[in-house]
Every structure is written in structure tokens, then in C-alpha cells.
Amino acid sequence: MMRQAGRYLPEYQEVRAKADFLTICRTPELAAEVTLQPVHRLGVDGAVIFSDILLVLEAMGLPVRFEEKAGPQFDCCVRSKGDVANLQTEAVAERLRYVAEAITLCRKELAGRGVPVIGFAGAPWTLACYALEGKTTREFLVARRALYEDAALLEALMGKIAEATAAHLIAQMEAGATVLQLFESWGGSLGCEEYACYALPALQAVIARVQKARGAREVPVIVYCNGSAAHLHTLSKCGAEGISVDWRLPLDEVRRRVGPEIAIQGNLDPAALYGSPEQVVDRTQAMLGRHSGPGLIANLGHGILPDVPVENAAAFVRAVQTWQNPGA
Amino acid sequence: MMRQAGRYLPEYQEVRAKADFLTICRTPELAAEVTLQPVHRLGVDGAVIFSDILLVLEAMGLPVRFEEKAGPQFDCCVRSKGDVANLQTEAVAERLRYVAEAITLCRKELAGRGVPVIGFAGAPWTLACYALEGKTTREFLVARRALYEDAALLEALMGKIAEATAAHLIAQMEAGATVLQLFESWGGSLGCEEYACYALPALQAVIARVQKARGAREVPVIVYCNGSAAHLHTLSKCGAEGISVDWRLPLDEVRRRVGPEIAIQGNLDPAALYGSPEQVVDRTQAMLGRHSGPGLIANLGHGILPDVPVENAAAFVRAVQTWQNPGA
């Protein structure tokens, strides 16, 4: 699940009562502790490292604050070529060493259990949106305006972000991450052709660097895109081994659009975890039944919501783990 | 253009300096004046009545406030079957008579010029989102939660909204509107199957009522859906004569998905009006070139942005009006 180690778990709230969000991220012991909570509580088949996609921007020189309700806020935004030039790409992985250390701690805790540790980062277009907007917005108009008014600035910005992001992902792999995810949270804000022309090349650059550093190791790369309905064919060319999708399209339609070669991850509407556990099981089985054959990683279509009952999250996990694929 | 009579025009700002947004909506002379401003200034081929989709909810008993920056806010939200029962559907058109009067004034002003007057309303799912959330949100989680937790409540709410909305659209037609639009602004928040199962029937109910009242009159109905990439096939069954789409998919792909029988309206990214007027012309021609054959109403893919230069809006209109369809 996305945001798997997070707000819906009471044991996470206990840790949060003692430490704020960024302190947990930056303290390997705490980050590892909350990362492992859903493995212990729900028996999920993977541990998603507790971290945030915006930490790469902070390591590049854009400090971020996380405030309750207001969401992430940057004090300075990128506005000019000079601002892009000032962004640092050297030593980003070193400044984010605490993420790698948390991953290594999780690997030790999980030794012999066969549970992969999943590292992640933000995709370049999505991080560029934050760097340009300074916060989460509904339409990312500053970033879209930059694309139409000064595409060279946007491309330079995404190029530097791609470099820093690849370094961060490679460091997570070296520390023991056995799956790497890239989050294109705001891919849905762009038109199909603008995504293919501007966002895709920067995403491909990250993946190519990671795969080169990976060599023969089996560390698959998965790209999540929210609002992906217009972009699935484009995303199928990004080079990743898996595409993770939101809940708008059923999985058979997703499969038709990405082709037979790529693993699909998804895609229950996070709001479908409301209702009774029995309803959650029915909806999860219906979702799984839309995909035939191998190559599916069951997941939500976006982050788990903070007030979902834990028993409903458990019902989702149980429905997946007991699923008998009729097509297998 | 959507929000055609609006914030980017200096003559609109002059009216706004004297009267707030709701006062303009509720004063037929002022609403007609700003409705006609873009006809006079830009020579657009249609006059979109100055109004707001939330006025129907207000007429049903949910007062709305429009605050600068905060967006629309409702003081009370729908939470229970009792709240739905309290919503009024009688006399909604009478309470919104000022919209009809503004339309009649516009028709008089435009007499003999062949410029249609376009009336509109919100689609039931979109208005239900506002009734349940009380404001614009990014993900409409209260509304999506209602769908999964209490679908009967949602269906009852959309049923009453559909009734009130049809009455308002019919009153606009009787007052002289020659095109009617329905805005499904938040259609993109739902999965494809949830949209087809819950939102589509309520939308079809509105359109069927309007078409029955229309009789032999030529008053086409157009449905706009934002985030429509997952819903185009579903929307093609709503009964409308036209589907208006956002900017995520190129028009040839939209045509493939809605079939050959329905007019398409769209779909330049509103952010593509930034840059130089020459760039706007190039982008508009590229957009038009993706659709071959008849049945296209050129438009933006969402509302025009408030700080777009007027000369760029003019360049968009000129590019459309001088377009020579190579396929014609």
C-alpha cells in the first residue's frame, strides 16, 4: 500500500506523539520502526521505507516544512535560471544518508523473511511542480505556465532533479532496497503530448541511470502515476519494469494500454477501504479479477487514507493474499 | 471559452470594482453586461451566460459564499437522509429567475447577430461533491467515501439535484438560451465503473428531462467533464449532443473514444494561452489539426485563467475563426 507506514496505524500515532514527521524521516531507528509496523501488524508482502519524495529537493537546497493540514511548504521556489543553477546535485545521496541507513536497518530486521524493502523517490516532473509552486496546488498552474512560457527553464530544472533523484535511488539500492519506486504524483496535470515531450525524457533519464548502476542485480523499478489514464501508453515506454496506476481505469483496460511486457501495480480506490471489511474483500476481489495472468502487484490506487479502520486495511491484505487467480 | 466572461478582461474588473461576484450573478443587467463583454471585445461565436453552477444548490437550500482566494464555501453540508429530504426542488427555477432574465437581456442585445446564448448548470455528481464537502477540495474524499459507505444517500442526493438542475436548464431554454451546457467538473475523481454506475444515470436523467421539454427546438446539450480520459466512452452514452473535454488527450484520440456521432468541444490547455500570441496561434492550430471532419466546437480544456493577456485570448479566437480545415 502507498503510505503503508502511516497515519491509519495507532502504533504509528504513538511514535508521532514523540517525534514530528521530519524527525522520524531523519532518524533511521524511528523510520525503520514505523516502516516495519505494517509488516508486523498486517503481514504485507513488502516494506515501504518511511520517507518523503520532497527530501530530495531539500537536499538540493530547497528547505521544506511539513505543517499539519497545510501540507508541505517551501520557503523559496525556483523562478529563474539562476535559481536552477544554485540547486545542488553533488552529495545529495550523502545528505540523505539517513534514508539509506533506515533501509539497512529494515533489511537486518527482515533477514530471512523474504519481505522486500521498497525504496522510492519523486519523478522529475512532480518534483519540478513542487520546486516551482512551493506547495501542493490543485492545478499546478505555475509549473504548467513554465512549460508553455519557458520550457528551457523547466527542462534544466528537471535535468538537475533527475540527476539528484537517480543518485538517491542508487544509494537506496546499495543500502539494500530490493525494489525502487518513482512517484509521478502530478503526471495527470499535463496533456498527453506535453507529458511525452517534457516529463517522459526526464523520467527515462532517472531510470536509465538506476538500471546502469543496478547491473545484474534483481532490483525492479516501478513508476506510479496518478491520473494516468491519458498517459499509460507513454508510461509503457519509460523503461521501468512495472507501472503503478490510480483507480480510474479497471486493470484489464490498463493491461490493454501498457501491453503484455510490463508488470502492473494497483489499483483499488483508497476510498473503497471505507465500509465494512466484507465490502472491502468484495471490492478487492473484483479489482483483482479484472486482471488475468501474471504480472500484477496488488495495491491501492493512491495513498491509504488516515482514518481508514485498521481492520479494513487488514481485510484488503487478506483478500489479496488468499486470492486464487482463476486465469492462472 | 469557459469562464469567458471573467477575470482576464479589464472591463469585467471595472464592473467587479462596483459589485461582488454574487451581486453580478443576481443582477440581470450586470450579468448580461459582463456576458456580452467578450462578444464585443473578442468577437467570440457564442455568449456564455455569467453565472455559477453552485447557485442551484443555494436555490435548493444550501447558501454559498464566494470569498477571494478561499473559493466557494457552504455553511451547511449534506450529511444525512434528513439533510437530503430538506433540500428543495420546488420553485428552484423561480428562485434563479435572475439567470433567465439575464439570458433574455442578452438575446435582445444580440438580436440579428447570430450569436448563440449558452446557458449552463452543474452535473449531479459535481454538485453532490459540493453539497457533501462544503467546498472545493483536491480529492473529494467525503463524496467518494459516501459512495462507498452510503450509496443510497448519494443516489438520493443526486436524484434531487438532477430534478432541480433540469428545471433550471429548462427555464434558461425558455428564456432564450440556444445551447445548454452541463459541467461535470469533478468527474475525474471517480473510477470508470463508479462513474458509469452512479454519476451517469443522474446525468442522463437531467438530459432526458431537458430534451423532453425541448421538443423540436434546436437547443443542443453539451456535457463538459474535467479529467475525462477514463470516462469518454461512458460519457458518449449520456444522451448529450456534444461532449466537451479537458486537455489531456488530443482530439483525434477523443474522437476515437466517443465515436463519430457526437460533437466534440475542446480542448486547448488553458495554460497554453501563456507565451506570445504567435505561440498561442501555433498551439491552437495544432489542436484543431488533430480533429478531422465536422463536429468540433473549439474551446479551451478548462476555464480561462485570470492573468492571461487579453491579446492572447484574442489570438486564440482569431486562430479558430481563420482556421481552414484541411479535412473539409
**Is B52 assigned a catalytic role?**
yes
Nearest to A191 by CA among A267, A242, A139, A150: A139
Cβ contacts (< 8 Å) between B230 and chain A: which residues? 229, 248-249
Residues 6+ apart with CB under 8 A from A325: A288, A292
Q: If pLDDT is split at 50, 70 and 90, which confidence band does A95 have?
A: very high
By the 8 A CB rule, do B271 and B316 touch?
A: no
Rounded percentage of chain B residues whose pLDDT exceeds 70? 99
By the 8 A CB rule, do B29 and B108 touch?
A: no
Question: What digits encode the pLDDT tens for the residues A55-76?
Answer: 999 999 999 999 877 889 999 9
Q: Distance between CA B287 and CA A24 in Å, rounded? A: 48
Between chains, do B274 and A229 touch, taking CB under 8 Å as contact? Answer: no
Which one from B130, B195, B198, B224 is the annotated catalytic residue?
Answer: B130
**Is B307 assigned a catalytic role?**
no
What's the whole-number mean pLDDT along residues A100-108? 98
Nearest residue on chain B to A186, judged by CA atoms? Answer: B138
- The answer to whether the peptide bond before residue A267 is cis (omega within 30 degrees of 0) is yes
Match 459516501 to its residue by C-alpha cell. B146
Q: Where are the alpha helices (DSSP H) in B43-188?
A: 55-60, 81-86, 92-95, 97-109, 124-133, 141-149, 151-174
Q: What is the pLDDT of residue B229?
A: 97
pTM to 2 decimal places: 0.96
Question: What digits encode the pLDDT tens for the residues B289-303?
Answer: 999 878 999 999 999
Between chains, do A192 and B253 touch, taking CB under 8 Å as contact? Answer: yes
Question: What digits encode the pLDDT tens for the residues B243-255?
Answer: 999 999 999 999 9
Mutation target vs B (from A142, A147, A247, A308; most B CBs, 10 A cutoff)? A247
**Is B148 assigned a catalytic role?**
no
Across chain A, mean pLDDT equals: 96
Q: What is the pLDDT of residue A328?
A: 56
Nearest residue on chain B to A247, judged by CA atoms? Answer: B191
**CA end-to-end distance (rounded Å), chain B:** 24
Mutation target vs B (from A69, A251, A274; most B CBs, 10 A cutoff)? A274
Closest Cβ opposite residue A274 in set B148, B227, B274: B148
**Is A52 assigned a catalytic role?**
yes
Q: Distance between CA B180 and CA B243 in Å, rounded? A: 12
**Is B16 assigned a catalytic role?**
yes
By the 8 A CB rule, do A124 and A55 touch?
A: no
Question: What digits encode the pLDDT tens for the residues A266-280?
Answer: 999 999 999 999 999
Between chains, do B249 and A230 touch, taking CB under 8 Å as contact? Answer: yes
Q: How many CB pairs under 8 A join A and B?
A: 78
Which H helix or E strand runs over A307?
none
Residue-level pLDDT, tens digit, chain B, 328 residues: 999 998 899 999 999 999 999 999 999 999 999 999 999 999 999 999 999 999 999 999 999 999 877 889 999 999 999 999 999 999 999 999 999 999 999 999 999 899 999 999 999 999 999 999 999 998 999 999 999 999 999 999 999 999 999 999 999 999 999 999 999 999 999 999 999 999 999 999 999 999 999 999 999 999 999 999 999 999 999 999 999 999 999 999 999 999 999 999 999 999 999 999 999 999 999 999 999 878 999 999 999 999 999 999 999 999 999 998 776 5
DSSP state of B135: B
Cell numbers that stand for A108 in this block? 537486518
Nearest residue on chain B to A303, judged by CA atoms? Answer: B139
Cβ contacts (< 8 Å) between A309 and chain B: which residues? none
Which one from A12, A95, A107, A130 is the annotated catalytic residue?
Answer: A130
What's the whole-number mean pLDDT along residues A148-158? 98
Q: Distance between CA B13 and CA B71 in Å, rounded? A: 18
Q: What is the pLDDT of residue A138?
A: 87
Which one from B16, B41, B65, B79 is the annotated catalytic residue?
Answer: B16
Phi/psi of residue B163, each to 5°?
-65, -50
Q: What is the pLDDT of residue A327?
A: 60
Write out the residues of chain B at the interface with chain A, using a CB-CB cutoff of 8 A. 136, 138, 141, 144-145, 147-149, 188, 190-194, 227, 229-230, 247-250, 253, 269, 271-272, 274-275, 279, 283, 301, 305
Mutation target vs A (from B3, B147, B268, B269; most A CBs, 10 A cutoff)? B269
Between chains, do A248 and B192 touch, taking CB under 8 Å as contact? Answer: yes
Q: Distance between CA A210 and CA A121 in Å, rounded? A: 12
Nearest residue on chain A to B280, judged by CA atoms? Answer: A148
Between CA B136 and CA B61, with CA B146 as vertex, the angle to 5 degrees is 60
Nearest residue on chain A to B139, judged by CA atoms? Answer: A138
Nearest residue on chain A to B254, judged by CA atoms? Answer: A230
Between chains, do B271 and A145 touch, taking CB under 8 Å as contact? Answer: yes
Write out the residues of chain A at the interface with chain B, using a CB-CB cutoff of 8 A. 136, 138, 141, 144-145, 147-149, 188, 190-194, 227, 229-230, 247-250, 253, 269, 271-272, 274-275, 279, 283, 301, 305
Residue A143 has pLDDT above 80, yes or no: yes
Which H helix or E strand runs over A231?
none
Between chains, do A148 and B274 touch, taking CB under 8 Å as contact? Answer: yes
Question: What digits encode the pLDDT tens for the residues A199-227?
Answer: 999 999 999 999 999 999 999 999 999 99
| Alpha carbon of A38: minimum distance to chain B alpha carbons (Å) | 23
Between chains, do B145 and A192 touch, taking CB under 8 Å as contact? Answer: no
Q: What is the pLDDT of residue B327?
A: 61
Match 425558455 to its residue by C-alpha cell. B174
Between chains, do B192 and A249 touch, taking CB under 8 Å as contact? Answer: yes
| Alpha carbon of A51: minimum distance to chain B alpha carbons (Å) | 22
| Alpha carbon of A262: minimum distance to chain B alpha carbons (Å) | 20
Helices then strands, counting H and E runs in chain A, come out as 16, 9
